[in-house]
Amino acid sequence: MNIAVYPGTFDPLTNGHFDLIERASRLFDKVVVAISASPGKGPALDLDTRIALSRAVLVDLDNVEVVGFSGLMTEFMKQQQARVLLRGLRAVSDFEYELQLANMNRAQMPELETVFLTPEVENSYISSTLVREIAKLGGDVSKHVHPRVAAALKSLYNT
């Protein structure tokens, strides 16, 4: 089985993430959306909420599984019996960091391949950070996230 893992904090899952996951689901037999606990980043939404929201948004994609994880990505990849790591590139500025990560992961797990997908143009400027900032300031994020995510952010920030 050709399994791809798409890791991230997904704080929150955006339409850009959904776009990449949906397209990856057509390329791979199975896509594992690996939601990192990321305590060092201090996510706004707790891990259980991020998992629940992502599962709700991705429910119609039959070959997509959402799981939480912590620890080394390469160890998680081995647990999932996956050799493809999926990453998104929004802009050229993402590439240097992503290349460094890809090479480090390959040094730890030589059979690992990193595949980069770019978002549709209408999603190329969306980031979880910007969505959180807009929501925190009471702005409308409904164009950038699923309605359930928008409602969760509205509730989180009491806006």
User: Alpha-carbon distance 50 to 34, whole Å?
Assistant: 11
DSSP state of 125: T
Look up the pTM and report it: 0.94
The residue type of 33 is V
- The rounded percent of the chain whose pLDDT value lies above 90 is 89
- State in words which class domain 3-124 has: alpha beta
Q: Over the chain, what is the mean pLDDT?
A: 95
Catalytic residues: 17, 41, 90, 128
State the pairing for strand pair 3-8/64-69: unpaired
Given a cut of 70, whether residue 20 has pLDDT beyond it is: yes
- The rounded percent of the chain whose pLDDT value lies above 70 is 99
Rg for the chain (alpha carbons), in Å?
15
Say whether 118 sits in a helix, a strand or coil. coil
Residue 94: the pLDDT is 83
User: Alpha-carbon distance 74 to 71, whole Å?
Assistant: 9
Given a cut of 70, whether residue 106 has pLDDT beyond it is: yes
pLDDT per position as a tens digit, 58-104: 999 999 999 999 999 999 999 999 999 999 998 888 899 999 999 99
**C-alpha count within 13 angstroms, C-beta hemisphere, residue 44:** 19
Residue 159: the pLDDT is 66
Residue 157: the pLDDT is 95
Q: Where are the domains of the chain?
A: 3-124
Question: Per the structure block, which two tokens stand in for 121?
Answer: 């143009």
Residue 91: the pLDDT is 81
